[in-house]
Amino acid sequence: MSFGTDLNTVMNADTSINTWCDGGIYFENLPDNFDLLKNWLGYSFRKNSQVDCINSRNLYRTYGITVKLVANDTHDLETMSDYVASYLNGKSYGNIIEIWFVNDTHSMDLEKGIYMNTLEFQGNYID
């Protein structure tokens, strides 16, 4: 098991997220030339820190998790953003102890007619 495997399970497990993200859920990058009429979710993670204990190295690690939502409708984007934040906040699975919401950043591409929200989370993972 790994953090990536556990996070992949969490990201793909919820039927509402799968329904809203009719374009798909992707790790790292969305496909080239993705369909602008669909809703998309891309996620990635990075190791932030390691916590050691007196006689134990690497008690747990803290990861940063980034979730980017893309939609062509601001209402859909806001609905998906609120749901994903609520779904992941407090989530634990496998060796993921807990995930918690940190912040979000909204952006848009008016030329393409899409709106984006990048949500940031932290998570603790026992190795």
| Domains in the chain, CATH or no CATH each | 3-125 (3.30.2000.10)
Q: Dihedral, CA atoms, 125, 65, 46, 109, nearest 10 degrees?
A: 170
pLDDT for 71 = 97
**pLDDT, the chain, mean:** 94
pLDDT (0 to 100) of residue 67? 98
Model pLDDT for residues 8-58, shown as the tens digit of each residue:
999 999 999 999 999 999 999 999 999 999 999 999 999 998 776 777 676
Apex CA 56: angle with CA 51 and CA 58, to 5°? 35
Distance CA 82, CA 80 (A): 6
Going 73 to 75 to 77 to 79, the CA torsion angle's sign is negative
Q: Model-level pTM?
A: 0.92
